[in-house]
Structure 1
Amino acid sequence: MDYTKCFKEVLLKYSFIDPFVELIRHNENITYKVTEKYSGDTYLLRMHKPITKNMQGVHNTREAVQSELEYLLAWSSHSELPVQIPVPNLNGELVTTVVIEHEEVHCSVLKWIFGEIMSKQDLNSEGTVRTFGTRIAYLHQFSMRYQQGSSFIRPEYEIEWTNTMLSKLRSGEEMGIIATKDFYILENTFSLINDRIKILSKTMETWGFIHADINYSNLILTPKGISFIDFGLSGSGYYAMDIAMGALLTEGELRNALLAGYTTIISRKIDTEQLEGFIFLAIFAYYAFLVSNQDKHMWIRKQMPDLIENYCKPFLNGEAVFYSF
């Protein structure tokens, strides 16, 4: 597909004046930075077309993109920190659909958030990590109050999702990227995680709209504090999944500070054994994504044995691993 032709057609659907366009990346979406040359106003243009079929899913449908944008609009009116606010097209629509080479491509535009992409060095103090925990909690607190419309549709992160992920990793074993003996351990790890998920209850306090992709590149340090960006994989899931992803970004000795920050806003007991499973799923999701990228196959071959030996096996033996990752 000629993506250059595609984004040029999309730009005509908006009121941009003399825009300058820069490609950012192509993962679950194709993203561009759009800057109006004279006003300096800056936007994020997303074409909801994943780089591989491996990443195709409900989140790429027009209805799901619309649902994500409606959530962001609602969140922006409640958040004290910057939010990527959706920008309607000339017809007043949040989602713009164009047809290129007989294929529909759904697109959206968000206001740009200015700040620095966070890194490991930004989450190396107890105070910052505690604040990070409160930011996750505020997001969940809003989700608990958010009223989804009848047409609201986003991915769901539970057993079907974990089984799909395991199937993608199985293709890695079939290609010889993952050793058969290691895949056997992976299967057992997934089985234990699924057993734990099956006994979780879905209540207003445990299940709702989550970001589902909390990583350094999706955290922006703004003058007002830490803002979340890229809700492209957001959906319905256990709040523990976001907490686990946040914990994975911090050193083991600082994770209690993250949990303390979270529970100052949402007062409930956090089960670290439950978080362990979701940390594994965050890691496995990354491996499953890389399986379709031939350039990363050597990296998977090198890293998988360490993951199996130092984390999966102790986990299966009943050892606590929350603080070890």
Structure 2
Amino acid sequence: MDYTKCFKEVLLKYSFIDPFVELIRHNENITYKVTEKHSGDTYLLRMHKPITKNMQGVHNTREAVQSELEYLLAWSSHSELPVQIPVPNLNGELVTTVVIEHEEVHCSVLKWIFGEIMSKQDLKSEGTVRTFGTRIAHLHQFSMRYQQGSSFIRPEYEIEWTNTMLAKLRSGEEMGIIATKDFYILENTISLINDRIKILSKTMETWGFIHADINYSNLILTPKGISFIDFGLSGSGYYAMDIAMGALLTEGELRNALLAGYTTIISRKIDTEQLEGFMFLVIFAYYSFLMSNQDKHMWIRKQMPDLIENYCKPFLNGETVFYSF
């Protein structure tokens, strides 16, 4: 069924008076921009229903959405920059559940953050990249202090996650999208990264609540600075994964500035070899996500040999690839 036309029932659960609704997209959620005509107040409505079944996961459950919103609510009271603040429904609940054709769909509303979606061009200067590093660190600094309740549940980004990812990539080999010789290298790369993850320690300084989806479309340049949006895939993981995502958005020669910005807030040594592993996992996760999109199969066929030859093979040979991605 077309869930994108079901927003009216959800809006009745909130105190909207005369809203104008625009569909933004249907991806891991169905998202709408909701604007009150009389006041101009703007909100983001999310229906936590992914476009494909392979995107369904723990993050779509009511308990996980509730946990995400509780974190955002707490983060909003500590952040100097705009945060997508959750808006309760008429019953005072952060999560609204509606039944559509005998199926429960969980929904949430967040305050809109005004600003410009960032692009590659916005992260071209050393100063901006350094500031970007501090923003990631401020988020992690709060996560280190955040007390999760007993009912808190979010995805975990560890070995099970990488194995699920590998299974999706294996389906790409079975469909002929990834050459068998390339998949062999890819599999060895993930195996090496998994071996390194297994010996990582989980401490307050290394493991906690992470954004897990830092990309240009989730960075908003506001008058006050860089804000993060879309915590829909957030969960428990190594803080290094967020840093690795940030590094992939910056030029190689500026990555030291990113790390320098981060360590001005959180003083600790950052292992670039560890970051390399998470950079690979982020890239592999994107490819595995695209496996269900037939329109992207040709693109994967073209990109995979370059990834294998110029990055995976050198990585497996012990060469540094942190600055060359």
What TM-score range do you get, normalising by the shorter chain? over 0.9
| Aligned twin of 1:129 | 129
Identity percentage of aligned residues: 97
Check the 8 A contact 2:31/2:46 in 1, yes or no: yes
Separation (CA, whole Å) in 1 of partners of 2:30 and 2:316: 38
Q: Could you tell me the TM-score, scaled by structure 1's length?
A: 0.99
Kindly provide the CA deviation profile for residues 5-63 of structure 1, in whole angstroms up to 9, marking residues without a partner as x. 42110011011111111111111111110111111110000010111111111000000
**Cα 1:42–1:269 shift into 2, 3 Å:** same
Separation (CA, whole Å) in 1 of partners of 2:200 and 2:68: 25
Check the 8 A contact 2:33/2:42 in 1, yes or no: yes
C-alpha displacement of 1:220: 0.1
C-alpha displacement of 1:2: 3.3
User: Which ranges in structure 1 are unaligned for 5 or more consecutive residues?
Assistant: none
C-alpha displacement of 1:295: 0.7
Separation (CA, whole Å) in 2 of partners of 1:214 and 1:129: 14
Check the 8 A contact 1:6/1:98 in 2, yes or no: no
Separation (CA, whole Å) in 1 of partners of 2:8 and 2:184: 48
Check the 8 A contact 1:165/1:285 in 2, yes or no: yes
Separation (CA, whole Å) in 1 of partners of 2:174 and 2:299: 17
Kindly provide the CA deviation profile for residues 112-167 of structure 1, in whole angstroms up to 9, marking residues without a partner as x. 00000000000000000000000000000000000000000000000000000000
Check the 8 A contact 1:212/1:234 in 2, yes or no: yes
Q: Could you tell me the TM-score, scaled by structure 2's length?
A: 0.99
Check the 8 A contact 1:14/1:90 in 2, yes or no: yes
Separation (CA, whole Å) in 2 of partners of 1:4 and 1:292: 20
Structure 1 residues 173-212: aligned runs within 5 Å: 173-212=173-212
Separation (CA, whole Å) in 1 of partners of 2:271 and 2:36: 48
Hey, which bits of structure 1, 4+ residues long, moved more than 6 A? Answer: none
Separation (CA, whole Å) in 1 of partners of 2:301 and 2:22: 34
Check the 8 A contact 2:4/2:26 in 1, yes or no: no
| Aligned twin of 1:259 | 259
Separation (CA, whole Å) in 2 of partners of 1:48 and 1:168: 22
User: Which ranges in structure 2 are unaligned for 5 or more consecutive residues?
Assistant: none
Separation (CA, whole Å) in 2 of partners of 1:201 and 1:169: 28
Check the 8 A contact 2:4/2:30 in 1, yes or no: no
RMSD (CA atoms): 0.6
**Cα 1:107–1:272 shift into 2, 3 Å:** same
C-alpha displacement of 1:310: 0.6
Kindly provide the CA deviation profile for residues 43-100 of structure 1, in whole angstroms up to 9, marking residues without a partner as x. 0000101111111110000000000000000000000000000000001100000011
Separation (CA, whole Å) in 2 of partners of 1:10 and 1:244: 37
The SS at the match of 2:250 is coil
C-alpha displacement of 1:3: 1.7
Separation (CA, whole Å) in 2 of partners of 1:321 and 1:295: 30
Separation (CA, whole Å) in 2 of partners of 1:155 and 1:105: 19
Separation (CA, whole Å) in 1 of partners of 2:277 and 2:189: 9
Separation (CA, whole Å) in 1 of partners of 2:302 and 2:30: 29
Separation (CA, whole Å) in 1 of partners of 2:12 and 2:139: 34
Separation (CA, whole Å) in 1 of partners of 2:299 and 2:188: 23
**Cα 1:4–1:56 shift into 2, 3 Å:** closer
Separation (CA, whole Å) in 2 of partners of 1:114 and 1:95: 23
